[in-house]
Structure 1
């Protein structure tokens, strides 16, 4: 009897431990307090990832083979059975007192083993100043969208601080190497050193603590973090300081970190130190990200030796780990990966929707894009880049994304090596429809109709059917979200408001590659339809976000069209008309600013508040705000901005920025005259040094403001 009681005690204790460790309950409670009591969660072993929706009495059953699959099933149920869409603009919901029953068991499974998330750039363009509260929502978003393999680079600067300290660098020298909060992505990608710093001691402490929380939550869900591994990066002065055989270089006028040649006898020593410090802080990972020669030259490097040296050091640290590498430009060089063991490398085909490197014979990508052997038989993931620089704007290849994914998956030569999908955007929290589509692809075994999917998406996103909304989204899906297959432009059709002023202004950033591929009036027509039903959806968070975003895009289109008329008036010598039209253009920028002030997602105040909240002292807050302001305007110092071409790469059509930066530029341009040279870098730099406050939060009268502004712009 005593043994029976004891055994029952251990069983009960084990069950309690399982329950306490189960992250699904916490996820449901964060979505809506009390939500966990409305579901029955079941976990069953399976050879492939799957989820099922079922019913037991008055409770909905969600079963799956692991926590990520179960979370994906919860999200699917909420979208397609309840009409609740959880997105970056809203991760909470009000559930009905009794959930709609699942009338017939529904099962979805996937052969796509990996669902990857994040680009190094995302960590700077979107996540640079996130706290744990915001990260917790993001990890929930990942789980709900089936992500099981995200990049996790927070706190890597602490690893490097410890490594360089062991190598004899002083604290001051280390801080000259490590970039500031707004620029760490490009430091870790071996592009630059030190810009945005030096970082205070408190930065390293809080980032290490934050990364430990991030990794703990990811691992609770069974999400496998991809930690940065070692591929040869050392400070550019490592030859003088450490006597190493290195390759220094420049990137956009910055000193880039040097590449320690794999044949150097100290390569293994430094790699070992790096992994020791990484393991001490964050534990071993099963996946490591390494991208040698990113946007740089590999001339003179023994590529096969480099590949083996990088792989060998990773395996020495963790024999079962896999190397995750980005396919970008010439990387990964075929010679570097050709002879590596299959199954040990995962290639992220970073921009699959526009520049597929996986071996697609229909893609003519020039010398760097020609890969007749694909990725040399290694596993690869179909990835969507979509957004560059965190720029604001509607954009996508909706129909092509569907077609190209299933084509790649079933391709006779390279399809067998395709092991999943990836979100590799440079900036997130935009274009939710495209990210929703990509994350659903692995769970849909057969190609499906875009229009049917979109109708279901709008019902899920707004909670009910609406003819005008469906028509609006149909128009958008066949225009601005229907970029042609061959188009390789870097993200959205950039708003002319954000451009450096000229009567011929077209693109904003240096490498946009924009081309006119849709009719602007189609976007304006869609905006009109959204405005026409706005009173019916007042207070609907998802609708109000999309309403503002679509009307914003329509006003940007109006601005582009108006600028052409301004130019025509100038060329015709119609001075009075030119002056009147110039004032109209400037007023349009101010109206856009007012429109965007209604939503926190489109306000400069939100970005700056995140930055300042990371600081403990006034000096720290000011440093982080300067990082935040510089990144989205000049990006770099004068040489990097002007000669390097980085100015406005990360421009944002945001309230506050429109009024205090872009409006000031255009007003100066019109006042001085089209032939007068203006130092726009100096104008922007003056703004980056300010610390004036901006409002945060969304407006309760969002719909009324949108209607008023729409009427002024399009109906007066």
Structure 2
């Protein structure tokens, strides 16, 4: 097809034109798109007389070109929380500019993201997210939405009835863990209406991703089967976090057959781009210790996929090699990888910013691989990252003898710490030689302001870089203490005068809190001067800065409670932090529990569906599993209005009531047992009742109030004092 001026109009042009309209509004009519030849991904653009012309090799590269133009010539970027359309009325002139991707692919998502962030999204949410993906260079997204329809169709052919299948699939909020083989028959059954509605949504998502030229990765069979099938097959039991499941022996022909049936059903419903994600060993050691057994699993997995799709390529997360190092020795990993043809596998080095495996396993024995950044576990809202360490880690991977085929984001949840994820995606296209200069550009484009406010925002972010985003050498992981606010209370922290809690709290302050307080204050000052900015990214950043500071105040005041033996005045001051933070968080919808639950319930087709959806929304971010199991309790703990001032505050109040008795008992387990019973009762009440609505106020006003109230929480010291530290000033060390 040719345009009016004789240039070829690419097939992706209408899709990218739609994105441009959503981002720019009417001025998008002045953007022209054309095809560009090239072996890799690339683009060229120029603008003159109010018209922007973009030529690109594919739709994603064209979207990246548009975003680069907006950032470089309009001073505006599109983030997760940017208000759209952008305030652009004319397109500034721009000289010719070319860009080329540093890697072929930009990978996106983790199976867990589809439980911790996206499970209740509708098309409007997904359209916005796919636009973000295209603008940031994502070419290879994991696509899990609707997979339950393929599983349902396959097991129907294998003789299971509708109720058996929906019971096996379990609750909609937990489906990704079902697909990974971690659990089944839990928090369900899956509502009948969900299967069809999400089949339609999943198809729509895939259609849009493919229209941009993305190659989505679809889920595949992991060997995990319903008990009805396991009862008559060669199968073994395994456990994950207290959940028992059944997995087929790869020697049973049923393994490859079910894998093929699920893949065929999926291809019939959704088509295919020949990429399939399966993690048969995710956090579960193989049921047979024979070193050759993982290779047999690989052979059966590939046999099933290739029976349905001869061009199938298996994408596997390298997480097991890190999570269970005692089992996955170098010899075992090499033997497993050698059993798979190189062209049939793609490895995602999932946590490469923290625990890179590509060097340890010699770039995965020649398999194509992806360098991925994880950072976030469970959707926790703690502001934290090591920004300075990211560019060097990426550059080292790209300089390897066999560099990665792509860079990616594999966070368990999105919508947190956006600065970190923007930094990673920028490096798909551009090298970042220094974070400080990159951060200045990020800040300018995030807010789109100039003059005094721009200078204050830059100063604020350099303060954040020197504090919460300067976590060099810090292990950012689920097994690390994250502060008392979202922690399950225990009297173990009162022993030896609270020595364990004191050490944990001190470890959370590798920076001077005065620097963080000043950064927060600068954000507040801009919000007061330019209140229109608060509805956009500035509001999100205000909330995150408030969380960062108040979380450490809560740690300190908890120590005061322990030191005073539960003095009522100290208890009241401690619980006051929960109340105050709750009020601030209520000002920003994405930091409210109510928004999460309302999105879940919006999918209900009847009272029974509503009950399951409410339960899933409440359960996964609190107890996770059952109230009797501590294994994943608070794993996904979040600083959300309703939780902080309700659920979390109530737990600490129960702890404080029994503190004097626990201290008097000097380690008597009776106090801990009684506290455990009270906490379980509170959790059961939350699962039944949820939280009360929290009234939203003015975020800038609430932030100023809290800064004023808590500015002296760590004593008086200049934030610029050389060598000062929290431990020096507070006596916590």
Do both share a fold (TM > 0.5)? Answer: yes
Q: Is the 8 A contact 2:181 2:222 kept in 1?
A: no
CA distance in 1, matches of 2:404, 2:345: 12
Q: Is the 8 A contact 1:334 1:376 kept in 2?
A: yes
Q: Which runs of 5+ in 2 are unaligned?
A: 323-327, 663-670, 714-733
How far off is 1:695 after superposition? 6.0
Corresponding position of 2:128: 137
Determine which of 562, 576, 589 is the counterpart of 1:587.
Answer: 576
Please show how residues 272-291 of structure 1 align to structure 2 within 5 Å. Answer: 272-291=260-279
Change (3 A) 1:123 1:635: same
Corresponding position of 2:455: 467
Instruction: Name whichever of 651-660 and 24-33 sits farther off.
Output: 24-33
Asked if residue 391 in structure 1 is aligned to residue 380 in structure 2, the reply is: yes
Please show how residues 68-87 of structure 1 align to structure 2 within 5 Å. Answer: 68-87=60-79
Deviations 1:518-551 (A, max 9, x none): 3444322321222233222311111122112212
Corresponding position of 1:56: 48
Corresponding position of 2:523: 530
Q: Which runs of 5+ in 1 are unaligned?
A: 1-7, 360-370
CA distance in 1, matches of 2:169, 2:556: 44
Q: Is the 8 A contact 2:483 2:505 kept in 1?
A: no
Corresponding position of 2:615: 626
CA distance in 2, matches of 1:715, 1:623: 45
Please show how residues 673-692 of structure 1 align to structure 2 within 5 Å. Answer: 673-674=659-660, 675=662, 676=671, 677-678=674-675, 679=677, 680-690=679-689
CA distance in 2, matches of 1:695, 1:620: 25
Corresponding position of 1:694: 693
How far off is 1:237 after superposition? 4.6
How far off is 1:425 after superposition? 0.4
Determine which of 582, 596, 603 is the counterpart of 2:585.
Answer: 596
Asked if residue 706 in structure 1 is aligned to residue 703 in structure 2, the reply is: yes
Instruction: Name whichever of 374-383 and 489-498 sits farther off.
Output: 489-498
Corresponding position of 1:400: 389
Corresponding position of 2:723: none
Asked if residue 146 in structure 1 is aligned to residue 146 in structure 2, the reply is: no
How far off is 1:393 after superposition? 1.2
Determine which of 556, 562, 570 is the counterpart of 1:567.
Answer: 562
Instruction: Name whichever of 423-432 and 518-527 sits farther off.
Output: 518-527
Determine which of 660, 665, 671 is the counterpart of 2:651.
Answer: 665
CA distance in 1, matches of 2:507, 2:233: 43
CA distance in 1, matches of 2:488, 2:480: 17
CA distance in 2, matches of 1:475, 1:513: 20
Change (3 A) 1:618 1:557: same
CA distance in 2, matches of 1:20, 1:346: 26
Deviations 1:93-125 (A, max 9, x none): 3333212221x3222212311110000000000
Is the partner of 1:32 in helix, strand or coil? helix
Corresponding position of 1:368: none
Is the partner of 1:115 in helix, strand or coil? strand
Q: Is the 8 A contact 2:3 2:9 kept in 1?
A: no
CA distance in 2, matches of 1:91, 1:264: 54
TM-score, length of structure 1 as denominator length: 0.89
How far off is 1:249 after superposition? 1.2
Corresponding position of 2:636: 650
Instruction: Name whichever of 89-98 and 545-554 sits farther off.
Output: 89-98
Change (3 A) 1:11 1:598: closer
How far off is 1:712 after superposition? 2.3
Q: Is the 8 A contact 2:315 2:346 kept in 1?
A: yes
Instruction: Name whichever of 431-440 and 16-25 sits farther off.
Output: 16-25
Asked if residue 496 in structure 1 is aligned to residue 491 in structure 2, the reply is: no
Deviations 1:141-176 (A, max 9, x none): 111111010110111111111222222223232222
Corresponding position of 1:5: none
Please show how residues 80-99 of structure 1 align to structure 2 within 5 Å. Answer: 80-90=72-82, 92-99=84-91
How far off is 1:467 after superposition? 2.2
Is the partner of 1:496 in helix, strand or coil? coil
Instruction: Name whichever of 15-24 and 222-231 sits farther off.
Output: 15-24
TM-score, length of structure 2 as denominator length: 0.87
Corresponding position of 2:551: 556
